[in-house]
Structure 1
């Protein structure tokens, strides 16, 4: 691949890694490194498992049980969404996940008594994003929608 073709993709990745949501996700993942084994890794390497290209996704069977690493990444993603909501609104947004062993389930984020995110999860064993930019966009959108719900119903969220 030529350097000219690789440069826009690298620049796009760097821009995505600079977004507030991805910075939050990186802080969260690094906080779970209790032995320092990720200390020398770049943010791109650290979040590399969140990226599942079309080719990788096609290689994963349609039906399958999620392994613990995938479940951990899923939990980190939605916890980062909750932290992004907290940064924006000042309210703690707690994620709650219910998963079957087959990779189907639900995630809820609540702020006070208000459910700010309710999402059905399926094919969790194939969880990931095609690019860092899509990872950033998905997390930012979920946090933005939840923050809008809090702003629309502040008395319920603060109850």
Structure 2
């Protein structure tokens, strides 16, 4: 197979799958699985639900409550950000996020159904694996820059 036969999207996906953040996300997803259903699946297959193309996004309703799978993916993404930060600096980090549509409360929620602070959370995803890798890496890089800037405060 010649180099010209490999599409740019394939090499772009391979590059995204090799980033430290995506590797951390894949490890986290594999660690969550307890029935060996994902054992033979590729990393790209495991991350397929994180990819929400424009066509998929348009097909989704404008508003709505996120299903548990979307909330799980959102949780996995931000937990992977915390773990990637911990891999760099070894502080214990975890996302402070819990989204429950049953009990709207506080200033972040408004309206009878809640969720108005992020009306399209049910559309959580990224256009490509590269964009997933870039978004996660940017969050990790920003957090580590803040930790380096404020070394005395970070352990507190």
User: What TM-score comes out, normalization by structure 1 length?
Assistant: 0.83
Aligned pairs for 1:125-140 (under 5 A) are 125-140=122-137
In 1, Cα distance between equivalents of 2:155 and 2:72: 29
Partner of 1:22: 22
For the aligned residue pairs, the C-alpha RMSD in angstroms reads 1.8
Partner of 1:69: 69
Partner of 2:52: 52
Q: Does 1:104 align with 2:101?
A: no
Partner of 2:43: 43
- Superimposed CA distance per residue, residues 31-84 of structure 1 (whole angstroms, 9 cap, x where no aligned partner): 011010000111111100000000000001110100000000000000000001
Equivalent pairs, count: 142
For structure 1, the residue ranges without an aligned partner over 5 or more in a row are 106-119
**Rg larger for:** 2
Larger strand percent: 1
Q: Does 1:82 align with 2:93?
A: no
Q: Which has the higher relative contact order, 1 or 2, with Cα contacts under 8 A spaced 6 or more apart?
A: 2
Q: Which runs of 4+ in 1 moved over 3 A?
A: 102-105
Q: 1:99 to 1:27 in 2, by over 3 A?
A: same
User: What TM-score comes out, normalization by structure 2 length?
Assistant: 0.85
For structure 2, the residue ranges without an aligned partner over 5 or more in a row are 102-112
